[in-house]
Structure 1
Amino acid sequence: MTNIAIGLLIFLMTFCIMEFMAWFTHKYVMHGFLWSLHKDHHHKDHDSWFERNDAFFIFYAVISMSFIMIANNTSFWYGWGIGFGILAYGIAYFVVHDIFIHQRFKMFRTTNNWYARGVRRAHKIHHKHLGKEDGECFGMLFVPFKYFKK
């Protein structure tokens, strides 16, 4: 297997692992000890377009950039696949969560296929709980099949 093929495999694996990391971080960190940063996302008791919750994007962006910089400056070339895999997931998360679901930019408003409806439905169920307890549906791109049923 060539280095390019290995790099692409690492990229794809990292992208998929990031869905688990997003679920884990959302359930145990955002709805856990860092609820103080995440709760404004559930309560909307602020006038700013920015939320304290946006700090989590910065955290993963720093990790992504660190892997890319390490790969660029050392022989650890695997860092390219890891760094760009995290970046690609961050972009997908931003498009799905912030643009498509929460409409922070007014785009994709009329998207109405089975996947889009399922993801929106799952996220709506997640937001029906205003507190950090009793939450459900912490993932983003892979949600339980029950939300895809009519």
Structure 2
Amino acid sequence: MLYILITILTFLAMEGVTWLTHKFVMHGFLWYLHEDHHQPKYQGIFEKNDAFFVIFAIPSIALFYFGINPELNFLFFIGLGILCYGVAYFLIHDVLIHQRFKWFKNTKNKYLVGLRKAHKIHHKHLGKEHGECFGMLYVPWKYFSM
């Protein structure tokens, strides 16, 4: 039961990590990797921004490794929470919002529509300054009532 709680708490904490990383790293000193993601109608299969999937996978992989050596421990479940958040991020950000895969094209779910609206507001700024809505799963209420 404790390990399930650790996984869930890690997943929830990742929203804060995502917000901070997006605001201060992606829109900060690693803007050169994130910039192409803010350009309209990027034509490539991959963006430089996709490097963040690898960057964010490294801690999860390391936690899996140290979480099974010498025996299964709590680090494994922290890594699992990060992995679960990464899967959710991929499904929400790349599939639902940016439609890189056409799986959820016509959703009418109010929460998912609100996520799309908030992310659209984030992308209306083509530069790294003046951004808003840096998280992924938590969206301010105003985007659901627009």
Normalised to the residue count of structure 1, the TM-score between the two structures is: 0.93
> How far, CA to CA, are the matches of 1:29 and 1:141 in structure 2?
19
Q: Which residue of 2 aligns with 1:38?
A: 34
Q: Which residue of 2 aligns with 1:67?
A: 63
Q: Deviations over 1:7-26 (max 9, x none)?
A: 11110010001011111100
What is the CA RMSD across the aligned residues, in angstroms? 1.2
Mapped pair 1:128 → 2:124: yes
Q: Please state how far the C-alpha of 1:55 moved relative to its aligned partner.
A: 1.1
Q: How does 1:51-130 map to 2 (within 5 A)?
A: 51-75=47-71, 77-130=73-126
> How far, CA to CA, are the matches of 1:15 and 1:31 in structure 2?
23
Q: Which residue of 1 aligns with 2:144?
A: 148
Q: Please state how far the C-alpha of 1:74 moved relative to its aligned partner.
A: 2.6
Counterpart AA for 2:14: M
Contact 2:67 2:77 in 1 (8 A): no
Query: Which segments of 5 or more consecutive residues in structure 1 lack a partner in the other structure?
Result: none
Q: Which runs of 4+ in 1 moved over 2 A?
A: 44-47
Query: Which segments of 5 or more consecutive residues in structure 2 lack a partner in the other structure?
Result: none
Q: Percent identity?
A: 55
Q: Which residue of 2 aligns with 1:24?
A: 20
Secondary structure of 2:126's counterpart equals coil
CA distance 1:119–1:46, change in 2 (3 Å)? closer
